[in-house]
């Protein structure tokens, strides 16, 4: 069973993504901020992370930097899911090592397809 970590501080997004990926037979983990995301990633080593950028404490950019610095975690696929939709935000996310950058609001069907494509 593939493992997915959903990182977002918006409860409605977390609930819908958790439901969506549970239905897709993923083992789902939830983090509400960047610090919690790093702890869970270290413990569970998910196959893929859906990562928001704007969060309290540690933002998504910092989470991605720390994941990429870790030999244990740097192979985890990361999709940024963010309301930040400027070209400069998207370019920064991809330069830092995100595998994909999807802006909110997003199509759940497209998101599921992107997750499966990255995990092939």
User: What are 33-67's pLDDT values in tens digits?
Assistant: 999 999 999 999 999 999 999 998 899 999 999 99
Q: What is the pTM of this model?
A: 0.97
DSSP 3-state percent helix, strand, coil across the chain (nearest 5) = 45, 20, 35
Strands (E), the chain: 3-7, 27-31, 48-51, 77-82, 100-103
Q: What angle do CA 29, 63, 100 make, to 5 degrees?
A: 80
Strand bridging mode 48-51 / 77-82: parallel
Could you please state the CATH topology (level 3) that the domain comprising 3-119 is classified under. Answer: Rossmann fold (3.40.50)
Strand bridging mode 100-103 / 48-51: unpaired
Domain range list for the chain: 3-119
Query: For the chain, what percent of residues have pLDDT higher than 70?
Result: 100
Looking at the chain, the number of H-run helices and the number of E-run strands are: 5, 5
Mean pLDDT of all residues in 8-14: 96
């Amino acid at each position: 069973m593939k493992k997915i970590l959903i990182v977002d501080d918006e409860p409605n997004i977390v609930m819908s993504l958790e439901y969506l990926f549970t239905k897709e037979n993923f083992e789902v983990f939830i983090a509400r901020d960047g610090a919690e995301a790093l702890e869970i990633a270290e413990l569970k080593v998910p196959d893929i992370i859906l990562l928001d950028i704007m969060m309290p404490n540690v933002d998504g950019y910092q989470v991605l930097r720390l994941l990429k610095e870790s030999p244990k975690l740097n192979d985890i696929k990361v999709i940024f899911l963010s309301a930040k939709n400027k070209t400069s935000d998207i370019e920064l996310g991809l330069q830092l090592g995100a595998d994909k950058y999807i802006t909110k609001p997003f199509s759940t069907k497209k998101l599921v397809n992107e997750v499966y494509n990255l995990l092939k």
